[in-house]
Amino acid sequence: MIHGIDVSHHQETINWEMVRKAGVRFAFIKASEGEEYCDPMFDLNIHGAVEAGVLPGSYHFFLPRYDPLAQARHYVRTLQENAVDAPTLPPCIDLETQGLGKAGLSQALRIFMEEIFNLTGRKCILYVSPGFWNSYLPVPVLSGSRLLRSEVDWAVEYPLWLAHYTSGWPYQIYPWVSWNFWQYTSAGKVAGVITKTDLNYFNGSLEELFKLAAS
């Protein structure tokens, strides 16, 4: 598996050359949040990653209390204003704030991700933990071994970035049969980053990682 990190302004100034020498091959970098907020380190981080040879991705911190269409457009605008002349991983939505009820959150999430596709032609990566997904989304209703109802089947079309801090293999969540990225700790140490940072694996080869960046 391929090693990566995810960062925001909380990691302060990052020495991306040292990060690359430490074996990090990709990085998800916070771009935006809600309808107006832009991470103040996004431009510096994404350009620094590219210059150091770290494949960059980005993410938007989703807030259910705001319009999902406005959030998607704000995120894409932020990406356009800080564009890099290099491959990037697909856009990503960071889902860890509850609200709107299960059906309402599922609908808002779907609206956001479909708008990202409409604006960029790219399928959004979904970041979520098993606990959040199973608690706040309308996951399948079962009767014995029989599926009565599922309102999240649509999500299987999108790559999954699973947040699960465990020493073993992460839990799988419906409707996916596997995960693309796994955030396995929030307390990692990487040369070039002065604070603790999230550490991730990509579930595939380097060739497959760059193929995803080209999609």
CATH annotation of 2-213: 3.20.20.80
Say what the pLDDT of residue 141 is. Answer: 65
User: Nearest to residue 126, comparing CAs of 100, 89, 101?
Assistant: 89
Over the chain (215 residues), what is each successive 10-residue block's mean pLDDT? 96 97 98 98 98 98 98 98 95 96 94 98 97 87 62 92 87 90 96 97 96 93
| Exposure class string for 180-201: b at 16+ Cβ within 10 A, else e | bbbbbbeeeebebbeeebbbbb
Task: Please identify every residue annotated as catalytic.
Answer: 6, 96
CA 127 to chain centre: 4
CA angle 6, 170, 130 (to 5 degrees): 80
DSSP assignment of 133-187, as one string? HHHHS-PPEEETTEEEE-S-GGGGGS-EEEE---SSPPPP-TT-SS-SEEEEEEE
